[in-house]
A and B are shown apart, each in its own frame.
Chain A
Amino acid sequence: MKTNDVILQTATKVVFFIIFLFSIHIFFVGHYAPGGGFVGGLLTTGAIVLLLLAFDLKTIQQILPFNFTIVTAIGLVLALSTAGASIFFNVPFFTHAYDDFNLPLFGKTSLHTAMFFDSGVYLVVVGSAITIIQSIGGDD
């Protein structure tokens, strides 16, 4: 029996972006409000899981043509290199730096190296979680 899940699919198309945007928001506010790389990554995973529920595995692989194991690896490299970069400035491992910058378009913005680390965390969480779900779900 072929079920008709047009409502689910249509709703997903809208809701996915809302969740995704929310996860990006959560990721960026992490330093000042509840959130951060881990929760942000998990929320993004949740959004993708929703896509997986609404569509099938193949469609999702076409929509998001990433190899998620590589995403995980990139995240890990990002996190490690943020930590390791500090030794080039003759400070202990994992020393973060932050300052305010006057960026065009954004104006006065505080930038923090912890953000690079957090994006590493984000990518690892997304990559690992999706790898797990895809592996298990795609298995016969």
Chain B
Amino acid sequence: MITVLLAIFIPFIAACLVPFIHKLLTGRRIGWFVITVPLFLFIILLRLVPSLSDGASYLYTFPWIPSAGVYFSTHLDGLSMIFALLITGIGSLVVLYSIYYLSEREAIGRFYTYLLLFMGAMLGVVLSDNLIVLYVFWELTSISSFLLIAFWYHRKQSRYGAKKSMLITVTGGVLMLAGFLMLYTITGTFSLQELIAMRDMIAADSLFIPAMLLVLLGAFTKSAQFPFHIWLPDAMEAPTPVSAYLHSATMVKAGIYLVARFTPVFAGHVTWFYIVSCVGLLTMLWGSVNAVKQTDLKALLAFSTVSQLGMIMSLLGVGSLAFSSAESAQITLFTAASFAALFHLINHSTFKGSLFMVVGILDHELGTRNIRRLGGLASIMPITFTIALIGSFSMAGLPPFNGFLSKELFFEAMLSLKDANVLTADTLVLLFPIVAWIGSIFTFIYCMIIVFQTFFGEVPPPMPGQRPAREAPIQMLISPIVLGSLVVLIFIFPNLLGTYILGPAMNAVYPQFEGMAGLVPKIQIWHGWGLPIIMTVGVIAAGALLYRFLRYWKGIYRLGILQWTLDRFYNSLLLKVERAASVMTRTYMTGSVRDYVAYIMLFFIMSVGIGLFGFQQFIFDFSNDAAVEINESIIVFVMMCSSIAILFAKSRITAIILNGVLGYSIAILFVVFRAPDLALTQIIVETVTTVLFLLCFYYLPEWRTEHKSLSIRVRNGLIAAASGTAVTVVALLVQGHSLHPTISIYYETASRLAGGLNVVNTILGDFRAFDTMLEVLVLFIAGLGVYSLVKLRRKKGVDHSEEK
């Protein structure tokens, strides 16, 4: 359906228009133009929801590079719909918020161009069906996010964060591309729907595991999973609307989307379960533990995002077990995990978006986000406080907010692992719920930190130059209020969301169980005194206790493994790579031509040597060789003597003359071997070059004997001897192996074809005259070169540099 295709391109078109419209709508009013784009898209997508819940899906294919199997195909099903609604819905709210957040002095046009670019790219990621197109949009999100993080490019920290996120996400993206290409070699198609249909064929291939790992690496880097989560806290240097949009609701969930999308392809294998759920849980624990020690609210939220993403990821991992289960009861048990993942995905976007906006408001009104400088704002900023309370309590998993429902589902999913028959290790069955529980306790603690350390306690004196705190303007509060009320509404009517939005998405994640009863479980607000509710009560109790005594045990963050951050590892890795590269370059790029000649010769010797010894074909055939005459031996002996003598010559004149001896000997050899033209030319060329040598050397300083160390001389001697040997061996080998009969018979007809009796000259001037022409050109260039070198030389004392 072409609407979907349009949905991708409308933001791009709008991004192109922003600079022009910005000239008409000056200042922040440009935001009102921008907000129409996501709002319009949200509405047209929302109108498709009923038909999707009836089981429809929209595939539209448009040829882009058909010869390479790349079609611009868009596919809208339930899973894409969740993300598309999040992107456009939260996009509208973020744009609305940013209109009042950004000051008039900022480069607002640039900001919205980047934001629209990102929006289009993100829609492209979730709506494309072709893997290459998906990859293109995937990288576009990386680039636009890079631009948005570095929006305040004059800040050093912004640039650092942008570079870091770029490096990590693009590395993952490229690895993911390799995985896509592997999938292509297995199946011969880039289409996701066709890949899902061919999952048995993929599972049987030997490239299955590598392709899976590479695709997962792409997803993990983008979704900030351990240990690639380090870019997310540094990306908090971006303006807060960007953090709210990209780093909580949309981009970081691209990896989640990818994992959910590839679940039908890869999840049949138990490795998928182990990697996805273990990495997810580890990320959840690591993120929540680290969030507690943060003092910057945005950094705290960044780590909490990491932790929540890990939770969603682990749920998707558990959900994949449905593929290896046989009984329908077990299948519904595990599909419920994926359901919980998708449900929490939506919940997280709502409450995390609102929390970021709250932090943005605090930053905007008070000029600081540091927890130590905040406090007692509950009575000053009541609306902001209410929203923060709703968001934080939802994140902590407390009723009556939607986070409670998803946390219950999370515990249930983790506990359901005991029924999995694929897990062999009993410890794992125990470990998963325990880790999840500990992670939730820390989640509870940092949620309490947000609420109580910011809004309760004493009011610290205002920062110098800052007006006293007061409630934010109502326009800035609209977006967080909308998100906050969604948090409550979803808690009250969870099944509305479940039926219309999550149901079609579950069909997309589990295409083979489509339409199965129980695939879309009914969410119960109260489901009796089960183990999950007891766990939640435990979380609240332990969390409250730990929060109460936070300052007594906070010291443990200063020691051990928690002090050893991955950031330090990343920075030192970059530094080491740079240093190693520079050391390597400096070692072999010495700047001395002598060394480079040595490399070239060594490479030549090695390639010839390896080639010869590799083939073991030392067949010397001397049977066709002519007999050696006595005069030939004499000439060769003279040449050998003079060439050896050159090496020991004490003066330059001697060397030139010995070189002349060599040249004239060659001329005599030409005479002996009956090549009169060559002999003539050789004699004259030798004469002229000797004259030139003498002319040039007249100006040169005295010949100095070089005093190189013995080892260098031995090295040079060895290289020279080896290259000589290599050439000789090759020449002798070639000599005996004539593959084709000679073609010189053809030239015997020279007098008939070219009207000449001198075969050499007819070849030069007639048969192969093209070569001659270019040789003449070479001579011409050489003449001009010498002329310009000598005549157009830079005069002393005059600056001829081009910078002038």
Q: Which residues of A approach B to under 8 Å, CB–CB?
A: 26, 30-39, 42-43, 45-46, 49, 69, 72-73, 75-76, 79-80, 83, 93-94, 96, 98, 110, 112, 114, 117-118, 120-121, 124-125, 127-129, 131-133, 135-137, 139
A3 to B618, CA, bound (A): 63
CB-contact partner of B782 in A45, A73, A80, A128, under 8 A? A128
A76 to B775, CA, bound (A): 11
CB-contact partner of B688 in A30, A35, A46, A76, under 8 A? A46
A45 to B688, CA, bound (A): 8
A16: shortest Cβ distance to chain B, in Å?
A: 16
Inter-subunit contact A121/B776 (CB<8 Å): yes
Could you say which residues of chain A place their CB within 8 Å of the CB of B779?
Answer: 124-125, 128
Considering only CB atoms, which chain A residue lies closest to B783 in the complex? A128
Against A, the Cβ 8 Å flags (1 = close, 0 = not) of B740-769 are 000000000000001111101110111001
Considering only CB atoms, which chain B residue lies closest to A98 in the complex? B755
Inter-subunit contact B680/A49 (CB<8 Å): no
Q: Which residues of B approach A to under 8 Å, CB–CB?
A: 676-677, 680-681, 684-685, 687-688, 691-692, 695-696, 754-758, 760-762, 764-766, 769-770, 772-773, 776-777, 779-780, 782-784, 786-787, 789-791
Inter-subunit contact A124/B787 (CB<8 Å): no
Given known A31-B757, A137-B695, contact A114–B765 (CB-CB < 8 A): yes
CB-contact partner of B677 in A35, A117, A124, A132, under 8 A? A35
**Chain A contact residues: helix, strand, loop or mixed:** helix
Inter-subunit contact A139/B787 (CB<8 Å): no
CB-contact partner of B691 in A72, A76, A79, A133, under 8 A? A133
A96 to B677, CA, bound (A): 22
Inter-subunit contact A39/B780 (CB<8 Å): no
Could you say which residues of chain A place their CB within 8 Å of the CB of B765?
Answer: 30-31, 36-37, 96, 114, 117-118, 121
A94 to B768, CA, bound (A): 9
A136 to B789, CA, bound (A): 10
Inter-subunit contact A69/B762 (CB<8 Å): no
Could you say which residues of chain B place their CB within 8 Å of the CB of A94?
Answer: 769-770, 773
CB-contact partner of B754 in A38, A42, A98, under 8 A? A98
A108: shortest Cβ distance to chain B, in Å?
A: 13
A94 to B754, CA, bound (A): 12
Given known A69-B787, A94-B770, contact A36–B758 (CB-CB < 8 A): yes
**Chain B contact residues: helix, strand, loop or mixed:** helix
A37 to B677, CA, bound (A): 11
A117 to B762, CA, bound (A): 12
Inter-subunit contact B787/A30 (CB<8 Å): no
Inter-subunit contact B676/A72 (CB<8 Å): no
Considering only CB atoms, which chain B residue lies closest to A73 in the complex? B780
A30 to B680, CA, bound (A): 12
CB-contact partner of B776 in A30, A46, A120, under 8 A? A120
Q: List 25 A-B contacts (CB under 8 A).
A: A31-B755, A31-B758, A32-B758, A33-B758, A38-B764, A42-B684, A43-B684, A69-B787, A72-B783, A83-B769, A94-B770, A96-B754, A98-B755, A117-B765, A118-B765, A124-B776, A124-B779, A128-B779, A131-B786, A132-B786, A133-B692, A136-B692, A136-B695, A136-B696, A137-B695
Could you say which residues of chain A place their CB within 8 Å of the CB of B687?
Answer: 46
Inter-subunit contact A39/B677 (CB<8 Å): yes
Could you say which residues of chain B place their CB within 8 Å of the CB of A98?
Answer: 754-755
Considering only CB atoms, which chain B residue lies closest to A132 in the complex? B786
CB-contact partner of B762 in A31, A35, A45, under 8 A? A31
Could you say which residues of chain A place their CB within 8 Å of the CB of B695?
Answer: 133, 136-137
CB-contact partner of A34 in B676, B766, B784, B787, under 8 A? B676
Inter-subunit contact B754/A135 (CB<8 Å): no
Determine which residue in B676, B757, B760, B773 has the highest number of CB atoms from chain A within 10 A of its CB, and name it: B773
Inter-subunit contact B769/A117 (CB<8 Å): yes
Inter-subunit contact B680/A132 (CB<8 Å): no
Could you say which residues of chain A place their CB within 8 Å of the CB of B758?
Answer: 30-36
Could you say which residues of chain A place their CB within 8 Å of the CB of B755?
Answer: 31, 98, 110, 112
B358: shortest Cβ distance to chain A, in Å?
A: 79
A102 to B777, CA, bound (A): 35
Considering only CB atoms, which chain B residue lies closest to A125 in the complex? B779
Considering only CB atoms, which chain B residue lies closest to A127 in the complex? B783
Inter-subunit contact A36/B764 (CB<8 Å): yes
Could you say which residues of chain A place their CB within 8 Å of the CB of B772?
Answer: 117, 121
CB-contact partner of B680 in A39, A69, A72, A133, under 8 A? A39
Could you say which residues of chain A place their CB within 8 Å of the CB of B692?
Answer: 132-133, 136
Inter-subunit contact A131/B761 (CB<8 Å): no
CB-contact partner of B684 in A39, A110, A118, under 8 A? A39
Given known A39-B677, A94-B769, A124-B779, contact A129–B688 (CB-CB < 8 A): yes
Inter-subunit contact A139/B790 (CB<8 Å): yes
CB-contact partner of B685 in A26, A42, A79, A135, under 8 A? A42
Could you say which residues of chain B place their CB within 8 Å of the CB of A31?
Answer: 755-758, 761-762, 765
Inter-subunit contact A135/B791 (CB<8 Å): yes
Since A34-B760, A132-B692 are in contact, a sample of 13 more A-B pairs with Cβ atoms closer than 8 Å, ordered by chain A residue number, is A31-B758, A34-B676, A34-B680, A35-B758, A36-B764, A39-B684, A42-B681, A83-B770, A94-B773, A110-B755, A114-B754, A114-B756, A133-B692
